[in-house]
Amino acid sequence: MSVERKCPDCNHWNRENDYCSVCGTVLSPAIIEDKREEEREERRKNEPKTPLDLFLENWENSRFLLIRISFKIVYTIWAIVMGIAFFFAYLTIGSNG
């Protein structure tokens, strides 16, 4: 079954083409979504870091050994707590059948 797409710019109907045969506008939803995802990724890269991100980065990469160790301890405790929470969530979901 052939796919027909109408060009949003020139209103020309195209048969099984990713680009308009008249004006060259992108018609394929997959290509359009890929371009949007690239734009989103570019925007994410250019965003400034949040104060929390800066704090955590400075805490992890501190020049003082005691501060770096405290970061590792807190991070490990957080990971264990999240693991336990995910396990209980798994048990809760599994008990419903």
Query: What is the pLDDT tens value at each position of the chain, 97 positions in all?
Result: 578 888 888 988 888 888 888 998 888 889 999 999 999 999 989 999 899 999 999 999 999 999 999 999 999 999 999 999 999 999 988 877 5
User: pTM score, two decimals?
Assistant: 0.53
Burial class (CB in 10 A: 0-12, 13-18, 19+), 27: buried
Give the amino acid at 28: S
Q: How far apart are CA 39 and CA 46, in angstroms?
A: 11
